[in-house]
Amino acid sequence: MEKKRLDFLAVGDITTDAFIRLKDAHIHCKIDSDSCELCVRFGDKIPYEFVEIVRAVGNSPNAAVCAARLGLKSGLATNLGDDENGQECLGALQREGVVTDYVSIHKKKETNYHYVLWFDADRTILVKHHEYSYHLPEISPPPRFVYLSSIGAGTEKYHDEITRWLLENPEIRLAFQPGTFQMKLGRERLKPLYERAEIFVCNMEEARRILNAKEAGPKELLKSLRALGPRLVIITDGVKGSYFSNGRLELFMPTYPDPEPPYERTGAGDAFAATFTACLSLGITPEEALRRAPINSMSVVQFIGAQRGLLSREKIEELLKKAPADYRPRPL
């Protein structure tokens, strides 16, 4: 039987996050930069409050779950080991209604497992990406939207394979939210992906890193990122809001008011990028998608992990009706 076409296919790595809530630590920020360090006593026993395990997360899994909760037929192309952790991740995706037909399971391999050192409302993540034989499965029929994000190191050939597939299927709309390795590969190495992308999303620090423009402001960064090829560019800037350009309009979008102080900020950027992309898939204009994306980010930071706070489309619309009068995109 022919498979039903997906509205949204996320492509990227998956992991389990173990959140370790630290009790005794402090933050040290450098005077001449935005760089901060998590500090604990060296060579000592450090107390923690609790540990919480969150399965099936990562930029792309988070996006797939976000799209599913918004009512899209959503799937994930990723790689798992054949261990218990992998089985747990697969089950978590299926419970969320995410199509797992394109999940590759590798025998005698472990599934990624990260440790999240959580202090105050922010976190530092200890990561380890296991090596897999990466290959894009046969995806038929092609999805309406592909959401490409973080994939581990040593996957240059896999990125080439994804690029060829996207070029062979020009009807697929592409959203690109680069991860650490993709940014390290550089914009020249991934030039075809930048040029192919309809939507490109990163945060302010990442935009400056991609462009090697440490002092650049939002308007300059938006213009330079669009020059790489993406039609729609979004730069998120945490509690300051976000910036958008389609070449014709440059807009600033404020954050949606938090009902309470953020509890834990993991996944706020993923929620924004995935919600914006899903809204376009649902036929919503970019300007209106900008009003909905921060609502999901606001909700996510009220919970542990990147997925628990993700909202349904109905809940986002309900909260949008309660937004302040000035909650709208405005010229940058």
Summarize pLDDT for 274-300 with one digit per residue, the tens: 999 999 999 999 999 999 999 999 999
Residue 28 pLDDT level (bands cut at 50, 70, 90): confident
CA distances from 275 to 90, 131, 303, 320, 330 (A): 22, 30, 17, 14, 19
Report residue 120's pLDDT band, with 50, 70 and 90 as the boundaries: confident
On the question of pLDDT at 1 being above 70, the answer is no
In whole angstroms, give the CA distance from residue 161 to residue 164: 5
Nearest-angstrom CA–CA distance, 292 and 299: 11
Per-residue pLDDT band for 174 (boundaries 50, 70, 90) equals: very high
What pLDDT does residue 64 have?
98
Q: Which domains does the chain have, with CATH numbers?
A: 8-13+59-110+130-331 (3.40.1190.20)
